[in-house]
Amino acid sequence: MIKCITYTFVIALALMCIQGSASASEAPESSEFSITGQPVWYKVGSKPVEVRALATHRPLGTLNAGTPVLSFGVTKAWITFAYQGTIAYAPAGDFEEMYPVQKIEPAWRGYGPSLEDQVKKTREELVKLAHETELLNPELKKTKPGEAGQGAVAAGGGGPLPGVQNAVRN
């Protein structure tokens, strides 16, 4: 009789180990959880939710519908929070955010014109200045790079100044 009880106990223990390893393999990987997010209040939806320990993936208990929870990590699939002194997780689809934050990006713009406006204004000023320069000095119209210096010498503008002696002596 004792052999039969011992044999039954060993088989039951083996089945529990096999069942435990199967449930551990079905549990999500630890990389799927976040424990470093900003704290956000959630409440359980319309049905009770099973809570599991993050370290062992074993069931810790059940949260009833409408129970508030302060989470410190949320991913697409899971919410992590403190439950009975341990870090716990539950499926994110079973929770509703209590105080949703509307993420609206304001149309921020610094004072003064934008860079695009400044570039446009500068181009317009340069075109206007070039046009005015051509109207005031028609002879400055597109000259070749080497002609500017030759024109000055031909007009008598180059060479030594009158009354100044050569500073270099032979």
Q: Are 117 and 80 part of one and the same domain?
A: no
Question: Is there a single domain that holds both residue 69 and residue 129?
Answer: no
| Structural domain span for residue 126 | 112-141
Contact criterion met (CB below 8 Å) for 41 and 98: yes
Q: How many structural domains is the chain composed of?
A: 2
- The reported pTM is 0.45
Are 38 and 84 part of one and the same domain? yes
One domain, residues 50 and 78 = yes
Q: Is residue 77 part of a domain?
A: yes
Q: What is the pLDDT of residue 121?
A: 94
pLDDT for the residue 13: 54
* 86 and 124 inside one domain: no
**pLDDT (0 to 100) of residue 12:** 56
Residue 123 is predicted with a pLDDT of 95
Identify whether 56 is part of a domain: yes
pLDDT value, residue 24: 44
Q: Give me the residues of the chain with pLDDT under 70, please.
A: 1-31, 106, 138-170
Whether 169 is covered by a domain: the verdict is no
Query: What is the structure's pLDDT at 140?
Result: 62
| 117 lies in the same domain as 91 | no
